[in-house]
A and B are shown apart, each in its own frame.
Chain A
Amino acid sequence: MHQLQVLLFASYAEAFGASSVTVAVPDPATVADVVGALRRLPGGDVLPDAPLVAVDRRYAPGVVHVRAGQEIALIPPVAGG
C-alpha cells in the first residue's frame, strides 16, 4: 500500500469537507483503485458510479496506473459555459 493525494473541487470538496484527501491504495494502483478508496471515505457516498478523474491535468480512465508525484484530481460533473 502507498499514499496518494487527491485534489477535490466544488461539490466533492464540500462532500469530503476538504480540498484534498490522502488515500491508501495498492502499489501499483490504478485510477479505479483510487476511486474505490475515495468511495470508502466519509462523504464518498456522493460519488456516481464512474466519477471523472484527471491525472496530470488530463482525464484518465479507470485502468490507468497512478503513482505518487502525479497530480490526481476527482472531477465533479462539469458545469462551465
Chain B
Amino acid sequence: METNFSINYENKVVKVTLSGSLDAKRAPALADEIKKLIGKDIEKIVFFAKDLEYISSAGLRVIIFSKQKIGIDIKLYMVGATEGVLDVIKMSGIDNIMEITDTYEE
C-alpha cells in the first residue's frame, strides 16, 4: 500500500491529496515536499483524504509539522477523511488544530 500524494500550491492555498497509507515509511517524503513551501505566502493547507486508508503518528506529525513550520496562523483543512483516519486524528487531538469537513469549496 503506497501513499501517492500530490501537492499543488496556488493563490496562497496548498492542496495535498493523500491516498493509501501515510505511515513511517511514507510520511518523510511528504514532509520533504512540505518543507519546500517554508517561506512562501500561504493562508491554507487543505488535505484531501478521501482515499487515505491509514495514518499513523508519523503521518500526524507531518500535519502538525506543517502548521508549526509553514506558519502558526495558517488554516489547516482535512477534507473527506474516512472514519478510521478520523478516529486517529481525534484520538490524538489533532482535530483541535484543523477544520474537518466532508467537502471543500474553493
Task: Check if A and B associate.
Answer: no
Using a CB–CB distance below 8 Å, which chain B residues touch chain A? none
